[in-house]
Homo-oligomer: A and B are copies of this chain.
Amino acid sequence: METAIAIYNKIRVLSKTDILNPQISELFIEIYRVCSEILQLYSRIPLVSKIPDKQYFVFQKEKRNSRAINVALFIDDSHEVEKIVGFIFRNQLDFTNPRDITKALYTMAISFCSVIDLFKNGDQKTPGTFFEYFISHWFALMLQIQPQVSIDVLNLDMRTSLPTDCIFDLGPNRPKIHLPVKTSTRERVIQVWAHQRVLDGVYGTGRFLGMLVCLAETKTDKTKLEVTEICLPDQWRLYQMFISQMYRVYYLDIPTKYVELNNIFPPINVKQFGDFFYEIKTLITRG
């Protein structure tokens, strides 16, 4: 457990100076190995799933449970995870596919979060920050660009700096990426559309492609050992119609109710995160 936290701290420090440092990729593999070994010591308790066609379990340590883990996405064999991730590192995407990448990255992310759940009661911040570094790393790798977390605002007599989620600036005459990252969204998600709206207003609509990345939307009832998904699709539709337009929403464990948003008005493109690796180059050249 101390080893996991130590590696996490190294990732934090290195990411701040150079997120493209290849050491960070290795540290993500290393932290996954450590967490995977820790989790093998604990038993798995199946949950009663209220979500159609999805099964979940939790790891249990005495009276503490981890967050819900999707059975179909969790890869038990750590060599398999490392093999898939290796294809990303070596830019051999043809050797794997979006579904397997989603599963491998889901397994890596949920393993670290679950270890924190088991050892640090009520700590939401560490999994959240870890997940931000984790997702930013894949974006940075694929785009070969360092992210920023604030941008200058010049507006007639006003000059200020706006703190933002991760921003990737692809250079002149190309779109920029606005990347909010959340382990889950709930009612706070309106902030994502509102930040996108401010960027649209300050820099012009279409200048920033808003890409939200989330881990999952599960909620576990600890006494009943039941798992549900908290989704607010109608509110997302109102936000997409009246606040701003998000360009993509990627999930590692994609909720069924949000998949449906792809097919109704207003269109919101909600996809599994593995798709990002295969479409990003097209998206940014098309703008």
Interface residue A285 (Cβ < 8 Å from any Cβ of B) = no
Q: How many copies does the complex hold?
A: 2
A239 on interface, CB distance cutoff 8 Å: yes
Interface flags for A150-182 (1: CB within 8 Å of B; 0: not) read: 000101011010110000000000000000000
B201 and A242: CB pair below 8 A? yes
For the complex, count residues of A whose C-beta is within 8 A of B. Answer: 27
Question: How far apart sit A157 and B195, CA to CA, in the bound complex (Å)?
Answer: 28
Binary CB contact string for chain A from 216 to 241 against chain B (1 if under 8 A, 0 otherwise): 00000000000000000011011101
Q: Does A243 contact B (CB under 8 A)?
A: yes
Does the CB pair A195–B201 fall under 8 Å? no
Contact (Cβ within 8 A) B197 A160 = no
Question: Min CB distance, A191 to chain B, in Å?
Answer: 6
A190 contacts B by Cβ under 8 Å? yes
Q: Are B158 and A242 in contact (CB under 8 A)?
A: no
Determine if A149 is an interface residue (Cβ-Cβ < 8 Å). Answer: no
- Give the residues in chain B near A160, CB-CB below 8 Å: 234, 237-238
